[in-house]
Each structure stands twice: as C-alpha cells, then as structure tokens.
Structure 1
Amino acid sequence: MKKILIMGIALIATGSVVAQDLKSKDVPQVVKTALMSKYPEAAKVSWEKEKGNYEANWGGKSGEDNSVVFTPAGAFVEIVKAIPISELPKNIAPYIAAKYKGAKIKEAGKVTDAAGKTMFEAEIKGGDLIFDEKGNFIKKD
C-alpha cells in the first residue's frame, strides 16, 4: 500500500499526465466542427484529452493512422500521420541506437503543425522522440 501511495504522489509531483479517453458527447461542439471542417474524411473517430487539448484519432487497423490535436476553442494544433518506420529520415534510427541503448522504434509519424512545419515522431518505450524535417533531434515528448 505504501508503494502505491508513494508512486501516486510521485506521479502527481512530476506533473505526468496520461491521456484521458473521451466519449464524443464530452468533446466541445466547436472542436468536433473544426475536425469535420478540416478533415471531412474522418470517420469512426475516437477522442482523447491530453494536456488540456482534444485529440481525434481515426483510420487504419489501429484506428490511429491520423491523430489531430485541437485546442478547446477549436484551433488546429497539429496532425500526426502514421508512416512506415522505413520512411523516417535515415539518421533517426542511428541516433536512437546511440542515445537510447536497446530501444526499438514501435511506431513512426509525420507531424505537421498549424504553421505548416513538418517534423517526425518516433515512438519508443518511454515516450515519443521528435525530430525536424532533416531528422535532427528536437525533444523527447
């Protein structure tokens, strides 16, 4: 019991936030309208709330080939489109091998933000690594 309490306090203290699954009825209409306006092809959408924003996921076998983030006011933040790991810039895999010993890339995505800037995301155990369009490391998310 002590371990669980300590782990809970540590989680709160570090500010770690886990995505919260939402039902469509719990998503503001302005956000759903923004999604359908920008991505009318979105179907069978699942919703999450993460870091105060709303994330819509749809497409593919896992239902997450497209992941779009909107603010509570409906402003577009970014879209992440799933891509084969082989389509990541060639210097990403060697970087991960050197900096994250034994880590394997589980999933990859091409990120486009509201300004049109392109980045790449490589998911490994422990988080997402973000790289610029040339494959240079930016941050761990």
Structure 2
Amino acid sequence: MKTTTFIILLMTGFSTITFAQEKKEKLKVPLAVEKAFQKSHPAIKAKWEEEDGKYEAGFQQNGKKMSVLYSASGIVEENETEIAINHLPSPVAQYTAQHKLGNIKEASKITKSDGTVLYEAEVKGGDALFDTKGNFVKFQKD
C-alpha cells in the first residue's frame, strides 16, 4: 500500500513538473508588421506581444524602454517612451495621491498616430492616463 501511494505521488510530481515547463508558443507576428518595424527601427530586436488583435514591439533604444503598437496590417497606432516620473505633468502626482492610486512606479509618454499625446502613470493595479495638462483621462486595469 505504501509503495503504491509513493509511486502515485512520484508520478503526479513528475507530470506537474512536465506541464509547468511547457514552453509558450512563439507569437506569430504578421509579415507586414515585422517589415514596418524593421523599416523604422533597423537592426533593433523587439520583444513582441499581442494586444487585442494588435502587435506591440517592446525594445530599448538610446537607453530608454520604448514600444510601438501596430495594427495587424502594419500601421503604427502609437509610440510609447519611458520617461522619468518627475517629467509627468505636475497635476498627475496630485491626482494619484487624492484618489489613493498608490505610488507611481513608472511613467511613459504615449504619442498616438493622430499626434495626440498622453502620459501614463503605472500604479498599483494598472495604468492611469492623463492629457498633456495633467487632466485624468482613464484608468486601464492590468
């Protein structure tokens, strides 16, 4: 009885380890998206993620974390560049404190394809977005 129980526990442990080590499938980025990225960022290697049918290339350039969001057809929808927290519009810190969103962990400047600029403050539970004057726009949960 003890031997049988031991063997069952041992097999369960091995199968758990095997399933835990399965590799994620590599994201299939459309050719149009890859070509658009390489045209604007030659010789830069990106880490790709899919986001609601769109493709985000995350990379480092000139010592800054950046990303570009593309439609499936390779059209740029937005660019995001990491900035210092103290480069956010001044009302952002007041808003996050008043609304108890927590400390700002990271900050970014987002430029949409139409030229609209937003600022992103990463806080506990998600990202708070603000316009160029520091007015709250929306909150995106993680």
Shorter chain as denominator, the TM-score bin is 0.7 to 0.9
Please provide the CA RMSD for this pair: 2.0
1:30 maps to what in 2? Answer: 32
Q: Deviations over 1:27-55 (max 9, x none)?
A: 111001111223336x2210000111100
TM-score (norm 2): 0.75
Structure-2 change in CA distance of 1:70 and 1:97 (3 Å): same
Q: Structure 1 unaligned runs (5+)? A: 1-20
Partner of 1:111: 110
Larger radius of gyration: 2
Check conservation: 1:111, 1:118, Cα contact below 8 A: yes
The AA in structure 2 aligned to 1:140 is: F
Structure-1 separation of matches of 2:33 and 2:137: 28
2:100 is matched with 100
Q: Runs of 4+ in structure 1 displaced over 4 angstroms? A: none
| In 2: Cα distance, 1:84 partner to 1:39 partner | 23
Aligned length, in residue pairs: 116
| AA partner of residue 94 (structure 1) | Q
Structure 1 length-normalised TM: 0.75
Of all paired residues, the percent bearing the same amino acid is 41
Matches of residues 53-64 of structure 1 in structure 2 within 5 Å?
Answer: 53-59=54-60
2:89 aligned with 1:89? yes
